[in-house]
């Protein structure tokens, strides 16, 4: 659906009246997300955002379940896979931590994704009303739903903004999602962006309850052509990939940094997104991955439109935005917009420390 600034504002205002939280504001625009910020110590340890208690299966007791929307997606997107997901049980704020459960992708689509679909359709029709959301809040109050995941499958996402030094300036990577993705199709997004969930069968290895682990795997899939593996025998099957070994060496030497920038709650879907930054200071990284005969060339995944990758300078907001059409936020998922700007701000702070 083509979105307008009026519809975007109408939708954000509707959600701001419903939920007692502060919408994220950037460049004078309010976005339909709210941010929970990590402490300074947590910024340096992305896995500190996860509760140490391991996730257990969620109860499939949902207040509203949109079978029609799910079936439409299954019919129009034949490649959908009902994989396991980590879902939100609770967000604790001091310290900031997510307690998880285990759900599945289809339940997320029929509950949380359906909330967003219904609301955008209603606003587009000029009738900002959301019957499924209203039904849900008969069981879970709006304020409670910001911190607890009852009666919906609030699958956790992870979004990572990659910022790298090309030898002249620091650049951030954005790209468009392909038409085949279940939602957010053909929208700009950070790379990598992922659904947080186990890959081993029945969550066989608890070490998969790790933000860092998931980011490293998804980075290889979305930027270096690593084939997606369903139910691998080893939880760390990708750790010998040359692009990952090289990156880990840079991280160990301080030439690259993985940082937590927040937990974003998307008010459209009532799903949390762990927002992170991968900052690569060493210009040798980009020189190597972009070399004509590279041993680890950049290769985007099927979920990404290959010709849509943009690497834009973050020297100023204006320099970055000059690479994109006006009103970039209208062509991005709300949580991706927040991840983008939180990551750019954090990158600028880290770069200032290193110079």
Q: What is the DSSP letter of 242?
A: H
What pLDDT is stored for residue 2 in this prediction? 63
Examine the pLDDT at 205 and tell me if it is beyond 90.
yes
> Tokens 């052509």, residue?
225
What pLDDT is stored for residue 305 in this prediction? 65
Enumerate residues 6+ apart whose C-beta is below 8 A from 54: 100, 203, 206, 209
State percent of the chain over pLDDT 90: 86
Examine the pLDDT at 1 and tell me if it is beyond 60.
no
Q: pLDDT tens, 161-175? A: 999 999 999 999 999
pLDDT interval class at 354 (50, 70, 90): confident
Examine the pLDDT at 270 and tell me if it is beyond 60.
yes
pLDDT interval class at 149 (50, 70, 90): very high
pLDDT interval class at 260 (50, 70, 90): very high
Examine the pLDDT at 333 and tell me if it is beyond 60.
yes
Q: pLDDT tens, 16-27? A: 999 999 999 999
CB 12 within 8 A of CB 30: yes
pTM of the model: 0.96
């Amino acid at each position: 659906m083509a979105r307008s600034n009026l519809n975007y504002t109408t939708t954000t205002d509707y959600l701001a009246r419903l939920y007692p939280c502060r919408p994220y504001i950037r460049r004078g625009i309010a976005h339909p997300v709210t941010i929970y910020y990590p402490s300074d110590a947590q910024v340096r340890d992305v896995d500190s955002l996860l509760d140490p208690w391991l996730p257990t299966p969620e109860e499939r007791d949902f207040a509203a379940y949109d079978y029609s929307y799910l079936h439409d997606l299954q019919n129009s997107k034949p490649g959908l896979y009902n994989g396991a997901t980590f879902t939100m049980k609770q967000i604790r704020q001091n310290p900031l931590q997510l307690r998880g459960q285990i759900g599945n992708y289809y339940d997320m689509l029929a509950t949380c994704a359906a909330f967003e679909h219904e609301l955008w359709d209603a606003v587009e029709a000029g009738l900002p009303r959301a019957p499924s959301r209203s039904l849900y809040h008969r069981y879970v109050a709006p304020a409670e739903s910001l911190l607890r995941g009852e009666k919906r499958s609030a699958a956790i996402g992870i979004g990572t903004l990659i910022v790298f030094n090309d030898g002249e300036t620091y650049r951030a990577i954005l790209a468009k999602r392909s038409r085949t993705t279940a939602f957010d199709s053909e929208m700009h997004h950070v790379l990598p962006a992922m659904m947080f969930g186990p890959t081993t069968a029945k969550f066989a290895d608890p070490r998969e309850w790790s933000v860092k682990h998931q980011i490293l795997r998804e980075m290889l899939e979305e930027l270096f052509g690593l084939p997606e593996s369903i139910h691998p025998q080893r939880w760390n099957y990708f750790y010998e990939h040359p692009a990952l070994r090289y990156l880990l060496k840079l991280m160990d030497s301080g030439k690259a940094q993985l940082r937590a920038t927040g937990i974003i709650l998307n008010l459209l879907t009532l799903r949390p997104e762990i927002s992170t930054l991968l900052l690569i200071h060493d210009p040798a990284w980009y020189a190597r991955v972009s070399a004509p005969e590279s041993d680890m060339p950049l290769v985007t995944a099927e979920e990404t439109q290959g010709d849509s990758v943009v690497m834009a300078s973050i020297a100023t907001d204006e320099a970055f935005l000059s690479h994109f059409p006006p009103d970039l936020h209208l062509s991005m998922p709300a949580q991706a917009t927040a991840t983008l700007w939180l990551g750019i701000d954090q990158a600028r702070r880290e770069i200032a420390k290193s110079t």
